[in-house]
Structure 1
């Protein structure tokens, strides 16, 4: 549903604040693509951009009673999205710094245990990321990485162009990197809690 006028937007905000899921859905559909575009521009990751859209609308729903107080909803969403992305990036950077600092302080035996845990966790995360890929991207990624076939060989086998293979591989790798970054950040936080006890 396209939001055409200030009146309809104001009305939707008031209805959503009262708990109307239909009004909230209209706001979601009216603004999700704009939030996604901003998040994609800031994160350069389709996976993270989708996560940002979900997080933003979840926050809005949790505090829905404050919606009628918002003067310019589009500007509010832009600022909220920008702040959310920057906070997430700062958090990931802090987590990485903590891990780096902790690695410097660890005796070598603990370090090898820690690295073994991280390696196992990375294998699991990589497996999850590959399983989430669309079918053709997954097939092309596995042919390239596990069977070590060249692009031309994959193209010939699947009867598609080499450029299509390149595009699918590029998208698969972007998704895997974004997913791994997100999941590894959570894992590192959990490991840090265990290791500093």
Structure 2
């Protein structure tokens, strides 16, 4: 005989497949936090773990009509979390590898004049983006990245909690990333074309 939880899963899937937002909300409230905690064991960044949870549930909603009615929700969602974590870690490793390779190429080669101009342009873009941050966030971000102080040291210097410092740095990165990513992509593409 099937357990009550399995029956509940089957009922939720039937309702979800028919587009019930109530069923989706129930599934989200039941599984989002356990999946987040599972991802946090594998991923250091809280924000990235939260983003992955959102992606998993967005995918569940998009693929709801294709779910077999006998799907075990916890197995399905935790498997999705596992594969998302693997992709995330693989992406980080590839990014680190590309950056290291790029650094080696730059170190080994004489930088052409146009590269130096692009580097100055990138520095200006970054500086402008940092200068546009709110004052408190800007100070914390500069202490973290330019002065290379730890969150604990910054918190002590500014008489703030470490959590506040971490949030300010994370928020600064979220604001800065889209502003400078295009410029970085252009610079990397140009450098790879040079070599």
Q: So what's the TM-score if we normalise by structure 2?
A: 0.66
Unaligned runs of at least 5 residues, structure 1: 132-137, 156-163
Counterpart for residue 164 of structure 2: 168
Q: 1:145/1:45 Cα in 2 relative to 1: closer, same or farther (>3 Å)?
A: closer
Q: 1:93/1:26 Cα in 2 relative to 1: closer, same or farther (>3 Å)?
A: same
| 1:56 positional shift | 0.6
Counterpart for residue 30 of structure 1: 30
SS of residue matched to 1:44: coil
- Does 1:191 pair with 2:191? no
Residue-pair matches, total = 177
| 1:167 positional shift | 3.6
Task: Determine if contact 1:18/1:65 at 8 Å carries over to the other structure.
Answer: yes
SS of residue matched to 1:71: coil
Matches within 5 A, 1:63-142: 63-69=63-69, 71-103=71-103, 104=105, 108=111, 109-120=113-124, 122-123=126-127, 139=136, 141-142=137-138
Comparing 51-60 with 181-190, which one deviates more in the overlay? Answer: 181-190
Unaligned runs of at least 5 residues, structure 2: 148-152
Q: 1:63/1:112 Cα in 2 relative to 1: closer, same or farther (>3 Å)?
A: same
Deviations 1:81-112 (Å, cap 9, x if unpaired)? 12102212212322332344345167513443
Counterpart for residue 40 of structure 2: 40
Q: So what's the TM-score if we normalise by structure 1?
A: 0.66
RMSD of equivalent CA atoms: 4.0
Task: Determine if contact 1:28/1:57 at 8 Å carries over to the other structure.
Answer: yes
Comparing 106-115 with 145-154, which one deviates more in the overlay? Answer: 145-154
C-alpha separation in 1, matches of 2:26 and 2:165? 35
